[in-house]
Every structure is written in structure tokens, then in C-alpha cells.
Amino acid sequence: MSAAVIDRAERSRRRFRLLELTVVVLALFPFSIFALRSSDGSGPRLVSTGRPGRAPVRRELTRTELRDRRARTQPTLADALLDVSIQLVWIGLAAWLGRRWFALRL
Amino acid sequence: MTRHAIVATLDVVLLIAFLALETPGASTGFKFHEWVGIAFVGFFVVHVALSWSWISGTIGRLRQDAVPRIRVNFVLNAALFVMALVAIVSGFLVSDYLLPSAHLTTSDDPRWRNVHNMTASFLLAVVGLHIALNWNWIKGAFRRYMTRQSSRDIGGESDS
Ligand code: HEM
């Protein structure tokens, strides 16, 4: 096999691995966001409002309800550190994947 | 301070402010979040102003035959700019403390809160890509900073 063919095979193998990694990261992102966005510890931002005999309807909390919940939760320094670290991990992952993609294609 | 040093320092401040903004629940609290948001607007404007020669130069080059890296960088920076703008504007729209305390009515529509939260979340990824594309600049700035520190330590010259 010529060097050019090996080179092309290696590149497409690397590209495929990178694609796999990117798909995994993209799949994890929404979980992290929905978990994170109640980072104040106040839990999900949806409440059920059901009339008897009817299926419950989910609605978003109002601003006043959110404010009340947040006033009841006192995040600790550990919460803050954990939350900032999670954001850093996401920025870092995007930067790392981005660098690999750009190195392959640009 | 050289122009380089000013830009690099501002970038670090911008990143710290961004991280604080991304974690209002656990780090700043929501009232302070809005103050940090206002400060962020100022840093953001200065950051864009300091990049102005790059922006106008790149627009000129796009009309000619720019290499793919320049095109990708431009599209990414434009996306970052628009998303930051949406996050800021929607932040003001749902403001819970600052604008109401100035007797301005804001929205309690959960859709605006979602716009704010979603753009903030996707900004994490775009900021990461922005760092990736400018990695060599960042490495260079860090190296320059370290060299200046060590030349100061051995009594060398500083450029301030
Ligand atoms: C680029 C700048 C900004 C970023 C990245 C950002 C980020 C965020 C994030 C991540 C949340 C989610 C809160 C949660 O855990 O549910 C949030 C909420 C909030 N932000 Fe910002 N923000 C920015 C600018 C602003 C500005 C300028 C204001 C107003 C002056 C503002 C006002 C608010 C308010 C009132 C909330 C609470 C809304 C809610 O209940 O979801 N933000 N912001």
C-alpha cells in the first residue's frame, strides 16, 4: 500500500473516532444542562397542575415561585465550586474537541 | 502595559465574569448575577472594540479568497457575538431586580427565561470553540507573560 493510501486511511480512522467522541459529548450535553439549570438546588422548574380526573399539565414556575424556592435554598461553597467546575469541563471539552476538528480540517 | 497585555488581561476578566454568570444559582446569587451581567456588557463592548481591526480586516479578506480557517473563525465569532447579545437582551427582559428597581416592567414569560437559559447553555460550547480556534494566541500570550515574570524575577526589564 502506498504511503498516501495509508495516510488517507489513518485520517479517515481519526475522523471517525472524533465523530464518535463528538456524538457522545453532544448526547451528554442536554442532560447536563437540565441538571445544571436547577443549579440553585431548587429542583425541576416545572410543576404539575391537574384538575381532578384529568391528566396533569406541566407548567413552568412563575418568577415569584422561582424566587421563593431560591430564597429557601442556600448553596454552599462546595456547590459553587462544583457548579463552576462543571461549566469549565464543558468549555474544556468543547475546546478540546474543537482543536482536534480544526487540526484535521483547517 | 502593552496592548497585548491589556487584551489578555481583559480576556481573563471576561472569562471569569462569564463563568460567574453561568452559575448564578450556586455562585453569585440572582441579584448579583444581574450586576455581573451589566459589568459583562462593558467588558464585552471593550473586547469587541479592541478586536475591531481584526473584524474589519477579516470582512475585507472574506470578499477576496480567504482560507477556510479565516472563514470558520469569522462564522464562529459572529455566532458568539449574536448569542451573547441574545443572552444579554433576554437577561434584561427577564430582569428580576435591577430593572424593576428602576421602575421598569420586565417579563414573567417562561419562554424568555428559556431563551436566556438556552443561549447561556449553548454559549458554553461556542466559547469553548472560540478558545480552540485562538489557542495559539492564548499559548503565546501565556508564554509572553511567563517570560516577563521570569525576567522580572532575575532583575530584567519589564515593558510596563
Ligand atoms: C452573557 C451574559 C449572561 C449569561 C451567560 C447569563 C447566564 C444565565 C444563566 C445560566 C441563568 C440560569 C439560571 C438557572 O439556573 O436557572 C441565568 C438566569 C438569569 N439571568 Fe442571566 N446571564 C447573562 C446576562 C444577564 C443579564 C445582563 C441580566 C439582567 C440584567 C440577567 C438576568 C437573569 C435573570 C433575571 C435570571 C433568572 C431567570 C430564571 O429564573 O431563569 N442575565 N442567566
* Residue A63 falls inside a structural domain: yes
Evaluate if residue B87 carries a pLDDT over 70.
yes
Q: Which of B23, B72, B113 is nearest residue A84 as measured by Cβ atoms?
A: B23
* Residue A39 falls inside a structural domain: yes
Q: Is B105 exposed, middle or buried (0-12, 13-18, 19+ CB in 10 A)?
A: exposed
Poorest-confidence range of B88-97, B121-130, B145-154?
B145-154
The tens digit of pLDDT for each residue in A7-63 reads 888 888 888 999 999 999 888 887 776 665 555 555 666 666 666 666 667 788 888
- Put simply, the answer to whether A84 touches B27 (Cβ < 8 Å) is yes
* Residue A7 falls inside a structural domain: no
Per-position b or e across B132-157, b if 16+ CB within 10 A of its CB? bbbeeeeeebeeeeeebeeeeeeeee
Task: Please give the helix or strand (H or E) that residue A81 lies within, else none.
Answer: helix A77-105
Q: Is B120 in the pocket of ligand 1 (CB under 6 A)?
A: yes
* Residue A4 falls inside a structural domain: no
Contact list in A for residue B68 (CB cut-off 8 A) is 105-106
Number of folded domains in chain A? 1
* Residue A5 falls inside a structural domain: no
Q: Which DSSP letter does residue A54 get? A: S
Confidence (pLDDT) at B157: 47
- Put simply, the answer to whether B121 touches A33 (Cβ < 8 Å) is yes
DSSP string, chain B: --HHHHHHHHHHHHHHHHHHHH-IIIII-HHHHHHHHHHHHHHHHHHHHHTHHHHHHHHHHHHS---HHHHHHHHHHHHHHHHHHHHHHHHHHT-SSHHHHTT------HHHHHHHHHHHHHHHHHHHHHHHHTHHHHHHHHHHHHHHHHHHHTT-----
> For residues B20 and B27, is the Cβ–Cβ distance under 8 A?
yes
- Put simply, the answer to whether B25 touches A98 (Cβ < 8 Å) is no
> For residues A47 and A61, is the Cβ–Cβ distance under 8 A?
yes
Confidence (pLDDT) at B45: 96
Rounded CA-CA distance A79/A87 in Å is 12
* Residue A80 falls inside a structural domain: yes
As given in the structure block, the three cell numbers for residue A48 are 404539575
Evaluate if residue B40 carries a pLDDT over 90.
yes
Contact list in B for residue A80 (CB cut-off 8 A) is 23, 26-27
* Residue A38 falls inside a structural domain: yes
Residue A25 contacts B, CB cutoff 8 Å:
no
Supply the range of the domain harboring residue A40: 16-105
Confidence (pLDDT) at A92: 94
Protein residue whose Cα sits closest to atom 15 of ligand 1: A37
Task: Please give the helix or strand (H or E) that residue A37 lies within, else none.
Answer: none
This complex has an ipTM of: 0.85
This prediction's pTM: 0.86
Confidence (pLDDT) at B3: 82
* Residue A93 falls inside a structural domain: yes
Confidence (pLDDT) at B160: 37
Residue A106 contacts B, CB cutoff 8 Å:
yes
Evaluate if residue A86 carries a pLDDT over 90.
no
